[in-house]
Amino acid sequence: MRGEAGLSRPVGLLVVWCALAGVLVAGVTFPVAGGLGELSNQISSSVSGVSGQLAAVPPPLVTTLTDAEGRPVAALYDQYRLPASWQDIAVTMKAAIVSIEDRGFFSESALDPRGIVRAALNNARGGSQQGGSTITQQYVKNYLINVVDRNDRRAQQEDQDATLARKLREAKLAATVGQRQSKEQILTGYLNVVSFGNQMFGVRAAAQYYFNTTPDRLTIAQAALLAGMVDNPNFFNPYQFPDHALARRNMVIDAMVDTGTITARQADEAKAQPLGVVEPRPALPPNNCYAIAPEAGFFCDYVVNYLERAGMTRDQIYTGGYTIRTTMDPRISAIAKQAANRRVPTTQPGVANPFVIVKPGPDGHRVLALVSNRDFGTDAAAGQTSYNQPADVSVPFGAGSVFKIFTAAAGMEQGRVGLQTPMSNPYEQCFFPPNRNQYTRCSPIHNYSPNYPNPITLREALATSPNVAFTNLEVQAGMGSVLGMASRLGLRQTMQANMYGRPPGPAPQGASNPTAYSEPQSVYNLNNVAFTLGFNPFSPLELANVAATLSDHGRWCPPTPIDSVVDRDGHPVTVPQLPCEQVVAPALADSLVAGLGDDIRPPGTSAAAARNAGWTRPTAAKTGTTQENESVAFLGITDGYAAVSAVYADGDDPGTICATNPPVIRESCAGAFGGTIAAPTFFDAFNQILAGQPDQPLPGPDPGYLRAQDHGPIVPVVVGQPVERAQQALAQAGYPARIEPIPADAPGGTVIGQTPQGAVPRGTPITLYVPDPTGR
């Protein structure tokens, strides 16, 4: 009886599984009655949805970022997979995989019912798990695991469970795929989706990783090794288990002889070869913006964030297989990085030196370099940071007197001052905020020294930077106008951030100044006459783009890091971005640039640094230093380039930056200034960038901006308003509006840009840009 019982279970299982084989074969074409019919119907419903996903969800590919010359600088990916077409794959590889995995692939159906029954019976009896699958079935299984369900651990487990439902679903999907795709398409898809171990997916990535070759050049021995790995990539890993890999490779070679795809002599020659994998074992390419060239890390991160703001998801970017040609100039970026490192070493405790270079031109404002003395990464001990110092609103202590540019521009636009207009400039003066009551006290503001002339012309003030003269001008122009000018010229994200450089939000419990958290800078500073002294957090990139706007004759353009995007099929991808805007009159911008041209000459604040660097090129510049010397900055315009160098305390215990070489943080020392610490990075870099090139003169001042005079009405800024309200405001001011929809990831019905702005004759049409979701 015991023996009979021992036999009854396997025989019973065999009967059941044979019946299921019939269900399997029949179920791909018609439902079955009873309980199995119910199961078949459920599977049919599941297969219908999944088969749609198989067709709609492409396999993740590596997205490649290149510099402006087309050389790769970063690989962004979730799975390291590079595409290969049928023509890209060597005959040896096709023969090897078919010989070892599915010899009847080209002549038989997509299903192997006997194999499924055999594997299921073995699995049910507790034996080692067996596949019992054709290449088509393996293709389906791997596509589900590695593509459709790659972000769902539970679904991936279900895709591998040895259950009847899973096997029937897989088989039915395979039958569907077999009906819809040719054998070439299935084998190509399989060789692109399957894992070859060491986080390599697809035959092109595997050929590159293991043999430093392409899939069309794989030898018999190389193809056999790769084909042997797909059954168990870990067990047959040639680096961890070379003996296993060698035995498996030779088994594949023998299988190729059996199928007649190679001769016995070819097999002997192939088996006589060593494994031949690349030694030492290659590192997996970084799959993000970390651990790439030091001059490229921040740029790469900015590109990713830029694309996300344009409407792409991070998953799209990391799986889409795009080729993204950036605007990063490799030579200029390398020089800029070296200059920042010479000024402040990468591992210097507590001191950062972000440095940004932008090139304005007819096609927009191209970002050429986004660097810092810090590297982009997560190892703080090695001088790395994961915060994008050059691009983000990252400098917490401000740009100091560089912000006086906005006060000057607002005053000039209103006709209150020209470059030769004398301005009141006592050594010290007490200023009330615009909104005050009887208990409000004035805030004393004083110049750096009592030696400034009083009065002082605007041109002299731009070079020597007296605090009182600019605060007086700011009060006259009005805080709203000065803050609006900062945004118009380029501090778009900066002015939308709060006083901590973050999006406005609720203040922490117990915060002494809640509005510093909850209000954007554009609102918080409406009652703050010290804005012109520049203690607000700012983005070095945006400040460099302010310089680009002035250099571009008052035309603002978004600072773009991208030349082109091409998808996996070679089709160009349009990246939505705001169009350029004429934000101030060209004559105003040119005159202000001319007025900034004296900073590098005595008694200008950067004259000593220019002399020490042997710098004589025409340059519009402005330096800045915060009250406690925790942050200094230099803005420069020369030969068609716009740049900003900032040096600030970036440690956990910020303090005064000392004017030492390199700069250090100390409690008591001679504090750093923008002209002594930030400017040298600029001069060092541009002495190399412009070596051998002739000087380009700065524009001359427009006669209309030499003295205070009326420049006509100023167009109301209606950005952010509903379209109808914006049209009404412009109409009341005497300006007709022209609506232009543009592709943009923004709420509909709201104005997101306008041009022209500033002093414009009444009757001039004003273009209002509004989002067009259908254009994306």
244-270: per-residue pLDDT in tens? 999 999 999 999 999 999 999 999 999
Contact 149, 155 (CB under 8 A): yes
Which tokens sit at 147? 């593509």
Predicted local confidence at residue 48, as pLDDT: 53
> What integer pLDDT is reported at residue 285 of this predicted model?
86
Instruction: Give 3-state DSSP helix, strand, coil % of the chain, rounded to 5.
Output: 45, 15, 40
CATH 3.30.10.20 placement within the chain: 723-775
| pLDDT for residue 125 | 52
- Is pLDDT above 90 for 455? yes
SS (H, E, C) 345-400: CCCCCCEECCEEEEEEECCEEEEEEEECCCEECCCHHHCEECCCCCCCCCECCCCH
Instruction: Give the residue-averaged pLDDT of 268-291.
Output: 95
The answer on pLDDT for 408 being more than 80 is yes
Q: Is the pLDDT of residue 36 over 70?
A: no
Residue 28 has pLDDT above 70, yes or no: no
Who's near 544: CB < 8 A, 6+ residues apart? 356, 357, 358, 559, 635, 642, 643, 644
Average pLDDT (681-697) is 98
pLDDT surpassing 50 at residue 10: no
Residues of the chain with CATH 3.40.710.10: 370-380+392-705
Number of residues that this document lists for the chain: 776
Q: What is the pLDDT of residue 14?
A: 35
Confidence of residue 746 (pLDDT cuts 50, 70, 90): confident
Q: Of 157-161, 215-219, 435-439, give the lowest mean pLDDT range.
A: 157-161
Positive or negative, the Cα torsion across 172, 176, 179, 183? negative
Mean pLDDT of 370-375: 98
Above 70 in pLDDT, residue 738? yes
Q: What is the pLDDT of residue 122?
A: 53
In this predicted structure, the answer to whether residue 1 has a pLDDT above a threshold of 80 is: no
Q: Where in the chain is the domain with CATH 1.10.3810.10?
A: 2-271
| Of 24 and 185, the one with more pLDDT | 185
Averaged pLDDT, 468-485: 98
CATH T-level assignment (fold) for domain 2-271: Penicillin binding protein transpeptidase fold (1.10.3810)
The fold of 370-380+392-705 is: Beta-lactamase (3.40.710)
Quote the CA–CA distance of 481 and 408 in Å, as a whole number: 11
CB 459 within 8 A of CB 478: no
Average pLDDT over residues 575-598: 98
pLDDT value of position 165: 77
CB 235 within 8 A of CB 244: yes
Mean pLDDT calculated for residue range 612-629 = 97
Lowest-pLDDT range of 146-155, 359-368, 451-460, 748-757: 146-155
User: In the predicted model, what is the mean pLDDT of residues 157-181?
Assistant: 85
Q: What's the distance, Cα to Cα, between the start and end of the chain in Å?
A: 75
Instruction: Report angle CA 574, 575, 579 to the nearest 5 degrees.
Output: 105
- Per-residue confidence (pLDDT) for residue 159, from 0 to 100: 82
> Residue 573: pLDDT band by 50, 70, 90 thresholds?
very high
Q: How confident is the model at residue 106 (pLDDT cuts 50, 70, 90)?
A: very high
- Residues 449-456, mean pLDDT to the nearest whole number: 97
Cα separation, 299 vs 287, whole angstroms:
15
Class of domain 723-775: alpha beta
Percent of the chain with pLDDT over 70: 89
Mean pLDDT of all residues in 636-659: 96
Residue 453 near residue 424 (C-beta atoms within 8 A): no
Model confidence pLDDT, tens digit, residues 294-315: 999 999 999 999 999 999 999 9
Q: Are 469 and 421 in contact (CB under 8 A)?
A: no
Residue that wins the pLDDT comparison between 163 and 310: 310
Average pLDDT of the segment spanning 699-705: 98
pLDDT of residue 109: 64
Is the pLDDT at 47 greater than 70? The verdict is no
Nearest to 372 by CA among 301, 288, 278, 450: 301
Q: Give the residue carrying structure tokens 């199995």.
A: 36
Q: Give yes or no for a contact between 370 and 391, defined as CB atoms under 8 angstroms apart.
A: yes
Mean of all residue pLDDT scores within the chain: 91
Q: How confident is the model at residue 24 (pLDDT cuts 50, 70, 90)?
A: very low
CA 716/CA 614 separation, integer angstroms: 45
Q: What does the pLDDT read at residue 211?
A: 98
Q: pLDDT, tens digit, for every residue of 530-566?
A: 999 999 999 999 999 999 999 999 999 999 999 999 9
Instruction: Name the token pair of 33.
Output: 């009655």
